[in-house]
């Protein structure tokens, strides 16, 4: 377990220079870095400026120019970006240590919970509907409630992870999901159950944006393909939920058929779905305990840099190195001071306002308004960076189109392909036991064969192929996802229908693993979580709308309109990805 405080290593980052430049003091109080007074770079001791400039030149020479995204050089980067690149250099030198592997698996459990709870709703839904005699018009409310929770959760946690930090969001999401997972089993009221399922969705809704962000910010550059490999945990969640439901729901469910009068099904003889949700709540609570108790998660250095806590960020690097039992980093606070001095010289030469000049007096009549506006920007000011440059504006719009079209496509596939398959001749006269055994068999096949683990593993490999990288791997997988949906309408045999259904799911899994892995790489740490959360939110909104908007073109086994709408969504997503402004393979992330 990482200690909560770190003794001086050799050398301590806060011992290599006085003061705390860039807001980075060396002191901490209650785990939060305390900002010290900044250095006055206009009044340095004789010779100190030349020493700083020499060190800044040395640092610039230590960074490979071809690793900088775009056509910029290290000197052209902002002060934050320069510091971030030096943090990356130390993580690369540290390699894939024990801390990084712990982060990978603990974040993988977040992906696990995402589909585990999503699968659970479908598995327990029929038993709930039978017991509570839910009207046909409200059967879909349970799924809608969960999707609403996922959507709100993705937006909320995406913003919070850039405001309050990675650490608390990393832990609280699991705690919320576990609490409402237990509460889900308590009521015998459908509205209350839908509310609790919505809150579970709210808890797990931020898992993918948060966990991908955290994993990236501790990975060395040559291991960033593991971002796609995180998606291997999702099908495991499906399998676990299916196995638990198969073991509990048939054994503890109403003996009567759904078509029988509701009076034959009571809470006392229909506890299986409750036991299932309690078990999943216990698993989620165990994951929370692993994250919060068994492992001491340290705040992301990139987040701390973005908030001006330079010394605290360096302390985290030294703590991780100690945990990994590797030599301490070379980077010190003095290196950051050198970069700050260089930046101050540049600002002095280009600005007409002297450094350290007193601000203009503020009229008293506008003071209250400025305080209110200032408070707002202190909380949400990081979002300005997302729209500050044309590159990020364009990138966000293109990614938003890709996410919305992708979620549109795979929600149409998930909702309508089983209906079309059933309409083409699947026998549905099965017992409850046979139904849940089928869930387990299909999930196990997914895990061991096509969609489950193989697609994300291939995605991780494709990310590192020269001349292919993230961008064109995503384009190809999205195109093939659309092709598999379009071809689904021309086959008529049951094996062929099942095969094309599996093919679509496999390409969908491949594309999403690549997309989820690319997204945190594309945005810098100050608004990385917010961008990922907003993209996920837009995608989930499109996913909610898709089945509703396409219902009028569904006509049973012959529904080419549905299939073309789904395929078209996948192809639109592929076109959007092809228009990305840059590739992230082998490049620095800020």
Query: Residue 7 has what pLDDT?
Result: 35
Query: Residue 64 has what pLDDT?
Result: 80
CA distances from residue 125 to 32, 213, 511, 532, 585 in whole angstroms, order as listed: 45, 33, 29, 30, 43
CA gap 411, 477 in Å, rounded: 17
Tokens (6 digits) for 302: 């990139």
CATH of the domain at 173: 1.20.1250.20
Half-sphere exposure in the Cβ direction for 205 (13 Å, CA): 32
Query: Residue 264 has what pLDDT?
Result: 66
Identify any residues that bridge with 33 across adjacent strands, giving them in sequence order: 28
Instruction: Kindly give, in sequence order, each residue whose CB lies less than 8 Å from that of residue 67, ignoring residues fewer than 6 positions away.
Output: 221, 586, 587, 588
Count up the domains in the chain and report the number: 1
Pick from 474, 351, 334: nearest CA to 403: 474
Q: Is residue 58 part of a domain?
A: no
Which DSSP string do the residues of 317-349 spell out, in sequence order? HHHHHHHHT-PPPS--HHHHHHHHHHHHHHHHH
Query: Residue 436 has what pLDDT?
Result: 52
Helix 207-216 vs helix 141-163: crossing angle, to nearest 10: 30
Q: Are 58 and 377 in contact (CB under 8 A)?
A: no
The distance of Cα 35 from the centroid of its chain, to the nearest Å, equals: 30
CA distances from residue 98 to 82, 102, 228, 297 in whole angstroms, order as listed: 27, 6, 20, 13
Give the single-character DSSP code of 449.
S
Query: Residue 501 has what pLDDT?
Result: 75
Query: Residue 27 has what pLDDT?
Result: 46
Q: Is residue 305 part of a domain?
A: no
Count of CB atoms situated within 10 Å of the CB of 129: 17
**Greatest pairwise CA separation for the chain in angstroms:** 92
Residue 483 burial (C-beta neighbours within 10 Å; 0-12, 13-18, 19+): middle
Q: Are 514 and 477 in contact (CB under 8 A)?
A: yes
CA distances from residue 30 to 3, 15, 309, 476 in whole angstroms, order as listed: 13, 21, 14, 49
Average pLDDT of each block of 10 consecutive residues along the chain (590 residues)? Answer: 38 41 40 54 75 82 79 83 92 94 96 91 81 74 89 94 91 94 90 94 91 94 93 89 85 66 67 91 96 92 92 94 93 89 74 40 49 58 78 93 93 71 52 53 49 86 87 94 84 70 85 94 91 94 84 61 84 95 84
Query: Residue 107 has what pLDDT?
Result: 96
Q: Is residue 179 part of a domain?
A: yes
Q: Is residue 405 part of a domain?
A: yes
Helix (DSSP H) and strand (DSSP E) numbers for the chain = 21, 2
Q: Is residue 346 part of a domain?
A: no
Q: Is residue 382 part of a domain?
A: no
Q: Is residue 92 part of a domain?
A: no
pTM: 0.84
Element (H, E) at 28: strand 27-29
66, 71, 76, 81 alpha-carbon torsion, rounded to 10°: -60
CA gap 119, 123 in Å, rounded: 6
Boundaries of domain holding 267: 98-297+392-578
Query: Residue 386 has what pLDDT?
Result: 80
Q: Is residue 407 part of a domain?
A: yes
Identify any residues that bridge with 28 across adjacent strands, giving them in sequence order: 33
């Amino acid at each position: 377990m990482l200690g909560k405080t770190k003794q001086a290593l050799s050398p301590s980052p806060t011992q290599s220079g006085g003061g705390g430049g860039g807001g980075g003091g060396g002191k901490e109080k209650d785990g939060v870095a305390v900002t010290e007074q900044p250095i006055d770079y206009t009044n340095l001791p004789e010779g100190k400026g030349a020493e700083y400039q020499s060190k800044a030149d040395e640092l610039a020479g230590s960074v490979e120019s071809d690793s900088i995204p775009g056509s910029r050089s290290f000197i052209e980067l902002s002060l934050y970006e320069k510091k971030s690149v030096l943090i990356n250099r130390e993580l690369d030198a540290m390699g894939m240590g024990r801390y990084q592997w712990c982060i990978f698996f603990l974040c993988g459990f977040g992906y696990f919970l995402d589909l585990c709870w999503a699968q659970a709703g479908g598995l327990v839904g029929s038993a709930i509907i039978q017991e509570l005699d839910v009207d046909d018009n409200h059967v879909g409310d349970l799924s809608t409630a969960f999707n609403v929770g996922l959507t709100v959760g993705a937006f909320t946690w995406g913003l919070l992870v850039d405001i309050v930090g990675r650490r608390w969001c990393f832990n609280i999401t699991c705690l919320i999901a576990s609490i409402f997972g237990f509460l889900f089993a308590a009521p015998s009221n459908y509205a209350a159950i839908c509310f609790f399922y919505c809150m579970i969705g709210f808890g797990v809704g931020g898992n993918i944006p948060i966990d991908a962000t955290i994993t990236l910010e501790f990975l060395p550059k040559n291991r960033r393909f593991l971002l796609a490999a995180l998606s291997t945990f999702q099908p495991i969640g499906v399998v676990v939920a299916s196995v638990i439901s198969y073991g509990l729901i048939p054994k503890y469910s109403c003996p009567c058929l759904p078509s029988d009068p509701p009076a034959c099904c009571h809470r006392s003889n229909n506890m299986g779905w409750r036991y299932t949700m309690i078990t999943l709540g216990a698993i989620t609570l165990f994951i929370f305990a692993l994250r919060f108790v068994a492992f001491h998660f340290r705040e992301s250095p990139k987040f701390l840099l973005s908030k001006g806590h330079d010394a605290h960020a360096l302390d985290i690097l030294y703590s991780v190195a100690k945990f990994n039992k590797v030599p301490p980093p070379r980077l010190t606070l003095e290196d950051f001071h050198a970069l700050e001095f260089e930046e101050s010289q540049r600002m002095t030469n280009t600005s007409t306002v002297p450094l350290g000049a007193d601000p203009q007096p503020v009229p008293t009549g506008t003071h209250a308004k400025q305080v209110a506006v200032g408070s707002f920007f202190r909380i949400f000011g990081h979002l300005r960076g997302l729209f500050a440059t044309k590159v990020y504006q364009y990138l966000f719009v293109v990614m938003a189109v890709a996410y919305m079209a992708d979620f549109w496509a795979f929600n149409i596939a998930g909702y309508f392909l089983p209906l079309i398959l059933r309409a083409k001749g699947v026998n549905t006269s099965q017992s409850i036991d046979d139904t849940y055994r089928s869930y387990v068999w299909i999930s196990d096949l997914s895990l061991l064969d096509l969609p489950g683990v193989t697609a994300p593993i291939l995605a991780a490999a494709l990310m590192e192929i020269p001349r292919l990288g993230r961008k064109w791997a995503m384009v190809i997988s999205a195109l093939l996802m659309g092709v598999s949906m379009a071809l689904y309408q021309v086959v008529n045999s049951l094996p062929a229908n099942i095969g094309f259904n599996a093919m679509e799911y496999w390409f969908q899994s491949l594309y999403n693993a690549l997309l989820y892995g690319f997204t945190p790489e594309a945005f810098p740490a100050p608004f990385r979580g917010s961008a990922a959360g907003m993209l996920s939110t837009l995608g989930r909104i499109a996913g909610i709308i898709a089945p509703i908007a396409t219902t009028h073109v569904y006509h049973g086994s012959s529904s080419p309109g549905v299939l073309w709408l789904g395929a078209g969504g996948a192809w639109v997503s592929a076109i959007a990805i092809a228009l990305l402004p840059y590739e992230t393979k082998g490049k620095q992330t800020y």
